[in-house]
Structure 1
């Protein structure tokens, strides 16, 4: 098998086009981004992933900016360059300032550092934290 290629709208099956149309309508876009085009190679995964993203990222107890910043933080921790770019743009669009981004990166860095220290030292959970 060679390198996967994206599925463009013009070449998409009706099932894939329906998902692409929903993405473009929901996000007010003229085209879907590359993530969805590559995922379209598996229409079942495309639909399932889009439905899950749409549900999880919808406004709820957490506002859209907080959700995008959490997504960005996890993407940084997982070293997903594509996701960092995508969710940085989405967070900025939702109102994230440069100062907020800087603090978020400081928290991400600190959390990763202390998590590794805890794991390395095998620190037991304090009774006060263990619910």
Structure 2
């Protein structure tokens, strides 16, 4: 259960409404998801989050599908069920196949396992790997 009620369009401040209008225009949909509706209680945080997300998730050196899959992986590692669901849906909409999803989850699981082992062993970083 959420800690704040989800705001309907009728309950939005003018500042939050402006962000919702941008979300709808950018995504070419009338749907605004629950994440944004919860953030709408704090219009400044809503604006800052939306502005940053547009930059980070825009096409660049990494294509949008890769970015969504990375978002799924980090969300799984952080235990964010909402983000796992929303970004899995977005990745699927951008072309992620069942096979790609299976491989993504295998990498997430492998990284979690080896990260735990190397942390427990306190293995020193090889000189060749130091950035």
Q: TM-score scaled to structure 1, two decimals? A: 0.96
Unaligned runs of 5+ in 1: none
Q: Which runs of 5+ in 2 are unaligned?
A: none
Q: Which portions of structure 1, spanning 4 or more consecutive aligned residues, are displaced by more than 3 angstroms?
A: none
Paired residues in the alignment total 130
Counterpart mapping for 1:5-44 below 5 A = 5-44=5-44
Q: Return the alpha-carbon distance in structure 2 between the equivalents of residues 120 and 3 of structure 1.
A: 36
Q: Does 1:47 align with 2:47?
A: yes
Question: What is the rounded CA distance, in whole Å, between the counterparts of 2:51 and 2:8 in structure 1?
Answer: 20
Q: C-alpha deviations, 1:21-72, integer Å up to 9, x for none?
A: 0001101121210000001111110000000001100000000000000000
* TM-score under structure 2 length normalisation: 0.96
RMSD between aligned alpha carbons? 1.1
